[in-house]
Amino acid sequence: MTFTLLKELHSVQRQTKIKVRISRIWEAKTPLLKNDILSLECLLIDEEGYSMQATIRKHDADNFKSLIDEGSVYIVDNFNLILAKNNYAAVNQKHMIQFSKWTHLLKDIKYTCKAKLVSIDTTYGWWYRACYNCKAAVKDFADTFWCGQCGKNDQSPVLWYKLDAVVDDEIATTNFIIFGKIAQELIRIPAQQLAIAANADKFVLPSVFKNVVGQTYIFQISIDSRRSNINAQSFKVTKIFIDDLDTKGKKKIYTKDAEDTLEETNDDHTTHTSQNDSGPEIVEDPIIQSM
Ligand SMILES: [Zn+2]
């Protein structure tokens, strides 16, 4: 999943997604409105430490109060970019984000589980042609190609792993998607090298995969909400603890979230705040189309 950094957020398209920590939540009040609030305000911080203020209008505030937690990380889309209100802005910036009832918030939670890599489903192949820049799948266009995600086509795509791994944690069998560098650390050979080898077949696993199929690993996963051909929501591997394999499981691995189990992934952390389907509402604030 590719996220727009807050410093690069100059306009909002339909597919624009940000990944931010909500570091502070407060109510904007004035002395004139004694028990009432003007709006709910949040301070957002992205992975580069860049901060931006988000505002939630009074009539959406109660709904959001129950959905957002201070300190948690969220993947957010369908938000508006509006001109910053300069009267009580926490950060000095031209724009601020506005969450509306159309905004989607997906709490970003990582889980760790120990599971056996049973097989790799190659129905859709074990590699894909990825944009050199953002690693999204490139699309063919006339005699060339382009990236639908970032629009680049000035450099050749790279052949990138996308392994649809079937894993079994002794409770259930499920599919984990292992992309790019994480798969490369597991296989220890770049996908590009294997994909262009003599007799290589996109839909047949190279023999080197024998070293990993059947092994047990500790996987760190997150919910991948990006739509794919395989299913609408899948689990994306964010880390594989290969150390555990090398030391035959004797070495204890300490991770912050190691106590989490796969069972928790059954929780639905997706929150859609829409209450009706009558189409997008007209926002009161000016929407910045482009700059
Ligand atoms: Zn791209």
Claim to verify: residue 140 and residue 253 sit in the same structural domain: yes
For ligand 1, the distance from its centroid to the CA atom of residue 6, given in whole angstroms, is 18
Torsion of CA 194, 195, 200, 202, to 10 degrees: 130
ipTM score over 0.95, yes or no? yes
Domain termination residue (choose one: 74, 108, 142): 108
Cα–Cα distance, 80 to 189 (Å, whole number): 43
For ligand 1, the distance from its centroid to the CA atom of residue 93, given in whole angstroms, is 28
Q: Over the stretch 162-220, which tens digit does the pLDDT of each residue have?
A: 999 999 988 889 999 999 999 999 999 999 999 999 999 999 999 999 999 999 999 99
Instruction: Give the pLDDT of residue 92.
Output: 64
For ligand 1, the distance from its centroid to the CA atom of residue 135, given in whole angstroms, is 6
For ligand 1, the distance from its centroid to the CA atom of residue 160, given in whole angstroms, is 13
For ligand 1, the distance from its centroid to the CA atom of residue 130, given in whole angstroms, is 8
Claim to verify: residue 84 and residue 213 sit in the same structural domain: no
Residue 66 lies in a domain: yes
Name the domain count of the chain. 2
Tell me the CB-side half-sphere exposure of residue 162, using CA atoms within 13 A.
20
Terminus-to-terminus CA distance in the chain, angstroms? Answer: 25
- Specify the CATH number for the domain of residue 76: 2.40.50.140
For ligand 1, the distance from its centroid to the CA atom of residue 47, given in whole angstroms, is 19
For ligand 1, the distance from its centroid to the CA atom of residue 205, given in whole angstroms, is 26
Percentage of the chain modeled with pLDDT above 70: 77
For ligand 1, the distance from its centroid to the CA atom of residue 291, given in whole angstroms, is 22
Strands 80-83 and 127-130: unpaired
Residue 273 lies in a domain: no
Domain termination residue (choose one: 58, 84, 108): 108
For ligand 1, the distance from its centroid to the CA atom of residue 128, given in whole angstroms, is 13
Q: Which domain holds residue 255?
A: 111-266
For ligand 1, the distance from its centroid to the CA atom of residue 156, given in whole angstroms, is 11
For ligand 1, the distance from its centroid to the CA atom of residue 56, given in whole angstroms, is 32
What average pLDDT score do residues 131-149 get? 85
Q: Which amino acid, one-letter code, is at 185?
A: E
